[in-house]
Amino acid sequence: MTMIPASWNTTRLSIACATMEDAPRLQEIFRACSYVAQWDESFQEQPVSAITDLIEKSVAATGGGPELFRMQAVRVGESDEIIGYFHLYHGMPKPEVAYLSMLVIDPAYQKLAYGGELTAGLSDQVRTAGYPLFWLRVYLKNWPALRHWMNNGFTTMKEWRGDTVHSDTTHAGLILEKIL
């Protein structure tokens, strides 16, 4: 098994490893999605260095670092307009699993089918890289994300994590699997 390519395309999207020059736009997109924080604690305010740290981790992995990790920026077609990003672990938590730890699309580009196109393309890249299982975590209160992932083939629940009591301040999530 290998890592997904450093760059690849779908019909309308161009995807490539994130660079330090991309960091301000990626941070802007993350902040634009802060409305999700009420449902998904991974969208709580983060320092600017969180994005640059992930880009550095991705660059290190490309050079043969200890973790097989990619952070990729998503652009519309051939333009330089970044509309989202994701990060993906290869061979974690098990050798046969690719684990998507974050996928973010700018709210201005949501509901235009870019998320579904990206998810289908990413599933193809993960399968081509040799991973038969694709996992991710989705928070139960994040209904839009839960619907998206279920509609895109992540229909097997592998694990439950989080708080045991529902309240405005508690969170729980599911690890979902798509068999490729």
Residue 2 lies in a domain: no
Mean pLDDT to the nearest integer, 141-151:
90
Residue 18 lies in a domain: yes
Q: For residue range 156-166, what is the model confidence (pLDDT) as tens digits?
A: 999 887 777 87
Q: How many domains does the chain have?
A: 1
Residue 172 lies in a domain: yes
At residue 41, the pLDDT reads: 63
Residues 135-164 as b/e (b if ≥16 CB within 10 A, e otherwise) read bbbbbbbbeebbebbeebbbeeeeeeeeee
Residue 122 lies in a domain: yes
- What CATH number did the domain enclosing 168 receive? 3.40.630.30
Q: Which domain holds residue 114?
A: 7-179
Mean pLDDT to the nearest integer, 9-29:
95
Residue 1 lies in a domain: no
pTM of the model: 0.89
